[in-house]
């Protein structure tokens, strides 16, 4: 079903509230653009009116509130008994898989969906040595080198998103036996990761980001954004890999530009896309080319934002500077301030959570052996400097735990560097990979670390130069022998994604 703009306006003004919410969910599932005037929440659209009450009316209102509160308490007191006897009511406390959620939602959609409950007593990170849980490797040849380009856990901790060079993007699920695990059994075998969703895009994926309120039990929220070379920003479905919609940025000659960096606002209503000369702000509910432009003077390589200041964004650029913009001010005023300190272009920015204070900013750059922590209340110089090995132009990720106690980062030597932010500043270097550890992502719910490895290697063609490079060593070939076209030698470098248990073990 296709809706034009006039139809959407008529629907938004004539339909009831519940009908609008159902129509919005249906439109999202069918990849149809809808008007931003349609209501997508269940809150009352009526404004709050200012009235004056008499003393008698106020007393009567308070009495009604007390009666309502006593009624709510009586209802709550019954809930534990229902939970204890949940088996006789057909309620299962096991984790629902993504496929089961799709089938149930397609047959009998619910009005209210219960969110997944995390572990009540989660184990702390890095209490003991890391134990490998699962692994996935990609073969690589002289013609097509496959290597990972980072990894990222979904906000609910159930899915891992991994972009792979020349092999698109993969979504891998957390092994089912780990959902209820508080300790790791030593008898557990290493499982082989398989792609639950594979988007086979060719070319280079510049950036990808999860929807901030993603929940596997709510299919409409299971999505991510990705920017690819010569393509607009695409929104992908995390259940079946379908293309939901696109957000297109155009240049002065009306040609599609590829976004270099992406970020959602914390409420998920806005999309910030960084380009070479501007920041484009899209409305998530309005796919297409309509957006707000904020001109800048350098290419935006990464974007970060705090919940306390939703009208401002902090951006890194390829010139090696961090700039803070107020989107309410005129672009002619430029950034509010500019931070230096890195030798190369900024590759990642990350604000700490509310427990540490959202004014702490962490930054990393390419070909720069420093991770910097900034206090945005006094940003004249970095607050702390962390050392890591980064000698390539690729993005080497870092991440923070949910409680902001641990900082973890990969490096080009295959090490996982871990810092205790509340204690010793010296890193614990853990050798995990034989090649560059380009991706690190800490699960927000479980004590599980995901790492990815690989990078591009310049390999000479043995058919023309009579030599090839395997695992960093040169192997000479017979000058009179030429390899057939279909018999190319594999490039033996580690290109993998792994999951590691970092909590308590038995």
Report the alpha-carbon distance of residue 386 to residue 388 in Å, rounded.
7
Please state the domain extents for the chain.
152-444
Nearest 5°: CA angle at 283, between 278 and 289?
60
pLDDT surpassing 60 at residue 73: no
| pLDDT score at 90 | 28
Which tops the pLDDT comparison, 73 or 435?
Answer: 435
For residue 245, how many C-alpha atoms fall within 13 Å in the half-sphere facing its CB?
17
- Closest C-alpha among 465, 490, 409 to residue 144: 490
Tokens of 218: 């709510």
DSSP state of 88: G
Query: At residue 301, does pLDDT exceed 60?
Result: yes
Lowest mean per-residue pLDDT among 169-178, 190-199, 239-248, 470-479: 470-479
Of all residues in the chain, what percent carry a pLDDT higher than 90? Answer: 52
**Structural tokens at position 107:** 């047959």
Q: Does residue 349 have a pLDDT over 90?
A: yes
Lowest mean pLDDT among 50-54, 88-92, 407-411: 88-92
**Predicted pLDDT of residue 490:** 65
The full DSSP string for 250-294 is E-TTS-EE--SEEEE-TTSSEEEEE-SSEEEEEETTS-BS--EEE
Instruction: Tell me the C-alpha distance between 312 and 306, whole Å.
Output: 8
Per DSSP bridges, beta strands 159-163 and 131-137 are unpaired
Residue 88: phi and psi, rounded to 5, are -75, -15
Is 0.85 topped by the overall pTM?
no
β partners of residue 302: 316
Angle at which helices 5-14 and 17-29 cross, to 10°? 150
Mean pLDDT in residue range 435-464: 86
**Multiple choice CATH, 152-444, 2.130.10.10, 3.40.50.1970, 3.20.20.70, 2.30.110.10:** 2.130.10.10
Instruction: Judge whether residue 4 has pLDDT over 50.
Output: no
Q: Across-strand partners of 226? A: 208, 234
Mean pLDDT taken over the chain:
76
Cβ-contact 150, 498 below 8 angstroms = no
- 3-state SS class at 19: helix
pLDDT over 70 at 30, yes or no: no
Of residues 335, 348, 500, the one with CA closest to residue 433 = 500
pLDDT, tens digit, for every residue of 151-167?
999 999 999 999 999 89
Q: DSSP labels for 49-63?
A: PP----HHHHHHHHH
Judge whether residue 336 has pLDDT over 80.
Answer: yes
Q: Which of 91-95, 141-145, 388-392 has the highest mean pLDDT?
A: 388-392
Q: Residue 351 pLDDT > 70, yes or no?
A: yes
pLDDT value for 459: 73
pLDDT tens per residue across span 251-260: 989 999 999 9
Indicate the SS3 state at residue 242. coil
* β-pair partners for 314: 304, 324
Contacts of residue 384, Cβ cutoff 8 Å, sequence gap at least 6: 372, 373, 425
- pLDDT category of residue 489 using cuts at 50, 70 and 90: low
**Within its chain, how far is the Cα of 445 from the centroid?**
14
Non-local CB neighbours of 217 within 8 Å, separated by 6+ positions: 96, 101, 113, 114, 115, 116
Q: What is the pLDDT of residue 461?
A: 58
pLDDT at 133 over 90: yes
């Amino acid at each position: 079903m296709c809706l034009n703009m006039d139809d959407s306006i008529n629907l938004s003004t004539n339909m009831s509230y519940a009908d609008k919410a159902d129509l919005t969910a249906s439109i999202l599932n069918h990849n149809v653009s809808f008007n931003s005037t349609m209501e997508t929440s269940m809150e009352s659209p009526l404004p709050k009116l200012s009235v004056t009450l008499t003393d008698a009316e106020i007393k009567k209102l308070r009495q009604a509130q007390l009666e309502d509160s006593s009624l709510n308490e009586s209802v709550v007191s019954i809930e534990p008994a229902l939970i204890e006897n949940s088996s006789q009511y057909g309620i299962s406390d096991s984790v629902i898989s993504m496929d089961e959620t799709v089938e149930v939602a397609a047959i009998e959609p619910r009005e209210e969906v219960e969110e997944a409950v995390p572990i009540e007593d989660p184990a702390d990170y890095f209490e003991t040595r890391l134990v490998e849980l699962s692994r996935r490797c990609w073969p690589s040849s002289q013609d097509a080198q496959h290597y990972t380009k980072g990894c990222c856990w979904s906000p609910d901790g159930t899915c891992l998103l991994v972009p792979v060079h020349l092999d698109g993007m993969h979504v891998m699920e957390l092994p089912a036996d780990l959902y209820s695990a508080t300790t790791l059994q030593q008898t557990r075998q290493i499982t082989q990761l398989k792609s639950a969703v594979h988007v086979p895009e060719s070319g280079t994926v510049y950036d990808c980001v999860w929807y901030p309120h993603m929940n596997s039990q709510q299919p409409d929220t299971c999505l991510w954004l990705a920017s690819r070379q010569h393509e607009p920003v695409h929104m992908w479905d995390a259940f079946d890999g379908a293309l939901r919609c696109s957000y297109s940025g155009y240049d002065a000659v009306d040609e599609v530009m590829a976004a270099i960096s992406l970020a959602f606002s914390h409420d998920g209503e806005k999309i910030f896309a960084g380009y070479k000369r501007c920041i484009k702000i899209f409305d998530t509910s309005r796919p297409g080319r309509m957006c707000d432009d904020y001109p800048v003077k350098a290419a935006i390589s990464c974007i970060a934002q705090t919940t306390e200041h939703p009208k401002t964004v902090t951006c890194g650029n390829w010139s090696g500077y961090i700039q803070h913009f107020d989107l309410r001010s005129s672009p002619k005023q430029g950034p509010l301030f500019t931070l230096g300190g890195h030798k190369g272009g900024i590759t990642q920015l990350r604000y700490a959570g509310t427990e540490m204070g959202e004014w702490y900013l962490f930054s990393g750059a390419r070909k720069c052996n420093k991770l910097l922590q900034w206090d945005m209340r006094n940003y004249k110089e970095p607050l702390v400097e962390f050392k890591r090995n980064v000698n390539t132009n690729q993005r080497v990720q870092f991440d923070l735990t949910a409680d902001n106690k641990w900082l973890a980062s990969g490096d080009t030597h295959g090490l996982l560097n871990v810092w205790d932010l509340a204690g010793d500043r010296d890193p614990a270097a853990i050798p995990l990979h034989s090649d560059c550890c380009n991706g690190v992502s800490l699960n927000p719910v479980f004590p599980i670390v995901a790492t990815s490895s690989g990078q591009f290697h310049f390999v000479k063609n043995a058919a023309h130069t009579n030599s090839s490079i395997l695992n960093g060593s040169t192997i000479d070939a017979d000058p009179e022998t030429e390899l057939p076209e279909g018999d190319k030698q594999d490039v033996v470098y580690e290109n993998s994604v792994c999951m590691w248990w970092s909590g308590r073990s038995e």
